[in-house]
Amino acid sequence: MCSDAVTAPRIIVSGATTALTRRTTFRKAFLAPWHQAVGECWLYSLADAQRRTQVAIHHAVRCVNHHHLNVTPSSNNLPKFIKLLHEDISCSVNTLMARERYDQPHELFDDRPTHMLQLRDGEAQALHLMYEFVNCVAAGLIDRPEQMPGYIFNFDLWLSGYIDVPKPKVYFGDCRPDVIRMEVTPPPLLYRAFGGDIERLVYHMNRMAREAVQKIVTARKRPALGPEAVMALHPWSEPRTLRETGGKRVPTFRIGMGGAVGREVRAQAAEEVHQFRSEHEDARLARKSGDFAREFPYGTYNMRVHHNAPIAKEHPGAFLTKSGPTLDDVKAELQERRERRKQAESEWAEAFEAETAGAAGAEETEQEPCEPTAVGTEVVDCGASPAVEGAGAAETDEGGWIEATVVSPREQMLERSRALMTFVEEAFEEEAEVICEYAQFVPADSSDPEESDAKVEALAPGSAEAPEKPARGAPAVRHRFDRTVGDEEAAKSRRLVILRDKRKGRPPGGPTRSGSDPPD
């Protein structure tokens, strides 16, 4: 097993659609639209990272203190994309804050690594896209995603396929392109589930998104801040809600399919993660002892890139550690299916014509043949036609042939997409309240009287359980070497002033100094 002192090694393979999440330092609102250039820097950094790594971008959401990305790497270079992206965002926003006379955090993002969640089927991809799309609504910032200042990503972008991103007038030098065309494409497995029908996919994603927004607004316990209040957020604002407690299991993959098949796949994926980490730790210890020929498991990134360590080959029966298909692979696969289907239809048609010609030339037949019936894209002959018996015909007791129902590939695809949409709608309805609970952003200086936490409501001023606020008197003054002021005196005092020097105290006010000790 791997050590608990460091982050467990991650499985990095090409073609694995991954959801990325990164939060700012101390959950401050550094990514809020406190300046128009914040969104421009974030978007340009995203486009430039794609230009340098060729990672496919499917969706992106910028909340005030974190952001969500949905991407598919075309090669084993996802950590490089993450590094380039967050490095440019951090540097550009820090430069902007210095120009606008704000204190700079220097480290824009917190010390936790980027959360990476592999989405290994169409159901998981669709469900997580819904979660990302409504994240700002669930956080209580706005009522509809399009109200968010700087909103640009929606599912209609899959039809156009790109966004032209201009270079901001801050941080980015002349070595960067003035305009970068960022490609926005659908996730490969979701595209395959809809049989490559991009218009139908976009239509149903928009429909499910509208329903998801309604469910989130219903489950939310407080009104939204509104676009004006979001734009007025100070970059150093933070939510009053507590940070999540640690010690919980952090998921690294998501399987959407249900039933016995889904449970079996999830168990296999969990076993692969455990095996990957065990093999990685064994290889690390072997390399530490001097065995540099020891191979690391397939999917290892850091040891391969930074130490040129040997990597084992991909396991044939793997699921999670197997390279997934890119969008180009899925398109080629669908095109091959269409060609095979067209060839099969042509063969069936030729066989039917040959049987028809033979039946017409016969002088006597034991049974009058009936007309052939076309079902979907398959041709079914209910007469005595051995060439099409395997195409859905069944022989009767009398020796004739009857019509059988044949489901076309398109009908199979439609049934698959319907099942996927039903799963997403039901799953999102169950998770709406949980999403609102964890995603809620309530500024610490918010004056909204409605509190989501029952404990805050119980201790609010004016409630039965609220403690009485003691009246405070004049400041208590003492020297640092004097006896400690009693608790009662300190509680009654408005302020406790500690003298640095018993003889002089703070220097008196003058042209260069101001104030007195104790202060007025």
Give the pLDDT score at 386. Answer: 42
Residue 128 belongs to domain spanning: 18-241+251-256+415-439
Buried b (16+ CB within 10 A) or exposed e, 434-469: ebbeebbbbbeebeeeebbeeeeeeeeeeeeeeeee
Give the pLDDT score at 267. Answer: 92
Q: Are residues 34 and 179 in the same domain?
A: yes
Q: Is residue 79 in some structural domain?
A: yes
Q: Are residues 346 and 321 in the same domain?
A: no
Question: CA–CA separation, 66 vs 97, rounded Å?
Answer: 17
Question: CA–CA separation, 1 vs 282, rounded Å?
Answer: 8
Q: Is residue 290 in some structural domain?
A: yes
Give the pLDDT score at 256. Answer: 84
Q: Are residues 274 and 396 in the same domain?
A: no
Task: Count other Cβ atoms within 10 Å, centred on residue 116.
Answer: 21
Q: Are residues 106 and 195 in the same domain?
A: yes
Domain boundary, last residue among 282, 304, 325: 325
Structure confidence by residue, pLDDT tens digits, 223-236: 888 999 999 999 99
Q: Are residues 84 and 210 in the same domain?
A: yes
Closest CA to 329 of 159, 196, 418: 196
Residues of the chain with pLDDT under 50: 1-4, 373-399, 401-404, 448-467, 469-470, 472, 480, 485, 494, 500-507, 511-520
Q: Is the model's pTM score more than 0.85?
A: no
Question: CA–CA separation, 92 vs 189, rounded Å?
Answer: 34
Give the pLDDT score at 168. Answer: 95
Q: Are residues 320 and 344 in the same domain?
A: no
Q: Are residues 201 and 74 in the same domain?
A: yes
Output the domain CATH number for residue 48: 3.30.70.1290
Closest CA to 210 of 146, 125, 122, 128: 146
Q: Is residue 387 in some structural domain?
A: yes
Question: CA–CA separation, 327 vs 194, rounded Å?
Answer: 13
Question: CA–CA separation, 473 vs 478, rounded Å?
Answer: 15
Give the pLDDT score at 470. Answer: 47
β-strands 253-254, 115-119: how paired?
parallel
Give the pLDDT score at 429. Answer: 62
Domain boundary, last residue among 300, 325, 350: 325
Q: Are residues 79 and 218 in the same domain?
A: yes
CA R_g for the chain: 32
Q: Is residue 10 in some structural domain?
A: no
Q: Which residues pair with 72 in a beta bridge?
A: 56
Q: Is residue 372 in some structural domain?
A: yes
Give the pLDDT score at 383. Answer: 43
Q: Is residue 420 in some structural domain?
A: yes
Q: Are residues 151 and 270 in the same domain?
A: no
Q: Are residues 188 and 212 in the same domain?
A: yes
Domain boundary, last residue among 306, 325, 344: 325
Q: Is residue 519 in some structural domain?
A: no
**Number of domains composing the chain:** 3
Burial tier of 399 (Cβ tally within 10 Å: 0-12, 13-18, 19+): exposed
Given 3-state DSSP classes, what are the helix, strand and coil percentages for the chain, each rounded to the nearest 5? Answer: 40, 10, 45
Q: Are residues 81 and 103 in the same domain?
A: yes
Give the pLDDT score at 342. Answer: 85
Q: Is residue 292 in some structural domain?
A: yes
Q: Are residues 185 and 291 in the same domain?
A: no
Give the pLDDT score at 515. Answer: 43
DSSP state string for 44-97: HHHHHHHHHH--EEEEEEE-SSEEEEEEE-SSS-HHHHHHHHHHHHHHHHHHHH
